[in-house]
Amino acid sequence: MAATLAALTNQQVRLAARPSGLPKPGDWQLTEEPVAEPGPGGIVVQTLAISLDPAMRGWMNEGKSYIKPVELGAVMRAGGIGRIIASSNPAFAVGDVVSAGTGVQQYLSVPAAELKRAGVFKIDLRLGSVHQWLNVLGMPGMTAYFGLMDIGQPKAGETLLISGAAGAVGQTAGQLARIKGLRAVGIAGGPAKCEFVVKELGFDACIDYKAPAPAGVPRWDPVRAGLKEHCANGIDIYFDNVGGDILDAALARLNRKARVIICGAISQYNNEGGAVAGPKNYLSLLMNRARMEGLVVFDYAERFPQAVMEMAAYLKDARMKSREDVVRGTPADFPATLLKLFRGENFGKLVLEFAPA
């Protein structure tokens, strides 16, 4: 195995500096090295595709979080799907396709003792494509599922509002809410995304938070206007992916006993100096006996297999659609591609593909 592996070059992206604001090209370092021999019981995975996530921005920061920061000089953390190209472990055969914490690199060499830490598990491509395993059946889909089902406690007939509605978590959470009998109202940037959310995904409505002011309306707030129209009877569940002003607008329209799922706050991730704008309208929680709860998807890891089977069934009977935005390239394309998330340039789950399945 060693001679063949040593002939392969592993292109990698490492974190070179901790960014302030949006990551810059100089915050990254592109390196190449031979593929390491994993030793007895180990495996080597060729990365087929990686998931590009808003959370990556947080992982670049120093400080306490739900997961350790990526160390300076380390290969950037990323979840991915890969194919086993070498194995001396009876649980994995050459050719098996696995999900793993591949990092932003073309090959991952995992010694036997590291298999659990690297989160390697076989995936079944009959349940969904490689891209869907990074989306509905992967981390974003699990976030949507457990955020809605465990924290949201949905009841048929209720109204769910979700921001980032055309994105990875948003598209799945909104469709799942529809499957469970709720009204789903999305918020997304631009008419194309809003049309997709309603016409393709079957949401009841979508608010374009970037909509320009109609003629003659001086103090225009498209979110407040949209909520007045589409959540006239209030919001029972708000699934928050963006934070900031949109969170405040949603808080102002909560119903009694509403649940607010704090999934993410992408509008705040690139603030210079790291300051996060807090909600001004939080007393709405008091008035409405409502609650707001944070979500970390990894807490639900033991229940992923059960949720994957439910979501795969929805994909199969076409009740659940998935849209991935697949960029084909190499690790060198990672720094620029990641920025699409923060500019709203991704349309669906953002995936960087290194090799076809």
Ligand X SMILES: NC(=O)c1ccc[n+]([C@@H]2O[C@H](COP(=O)([O-])OP(=O)(O)OC[C@H]3O[C@@H](n4cnc5c(N)ncnc54)[C@H](OP(=O)(O)O)[C@@H]3O)[C@@H](O)[C@H]2O)c1
Q: Interface with ligand X by CB under 6 A: which range of 36-44, 84-92, 175-183, 337-345?
A: 337-345
Nearer to ligand X, 166 or 260 (CB): 166
Q: How many residues bind ligand X (CB under 6 A)?
A: 31
Tell the smallest beta-carbon distance from residue 138 to ligand X (Å).
10
By CB under 6 A, name the one of 101, 119, 202, 344 that touches ligand X.
344
- The contact pattern for ligand X, residues 36-75, with x = CB under 6 A and - = no contact, is -----------------xxx--------------------
* Subset of 168-207 contacting ligand X (CB under 6 A): 168-170, 188-189, 193
User: Helix 304-316 vs helix 168-179: angle between axes, to the nearest 10 degrees?
Assistant: 80
Nearest to 13 by CA among 26, 33, 31, 36: 31
Give the type of residue at 271: N
3 state SS of 298 = helix
CB proximity list for 340: less than 8 A, separation 6 or greater: 52, 325, 327, 346, 350
- CA–CA separation, 142 vs 147, rounded Å? 8
- CA–CA separation, 291 vs 258, rounded Å? 6
Residue linked to tokens 């003629």: 215
Helix and strand element counts for the chain (H, E): 11, 15
- CA–CA separation, 252 vs 50, rounded Å? 38
- Interaction between residue 342 and ligand X (CB under 6 A): yes
Tell the smallest beta-carbon distance from residue 140 to ligand X (Å).
5
By CB under 6 A, name the one of 263, 307, 351, 352 that touches ligand X.
263
Nearer to ligand X, 5 or 50 (CB): 50
Tell the smallest beta-carbon distance from residue 93 to ligand X (Å).
31
Binding region for ligand X (CB under 6 A): 53-55, 139-140, 143, 164, 166-170, 188-189, 193, 241-242, 263-267, 295-297, 341-342, 344, 346, 349-350
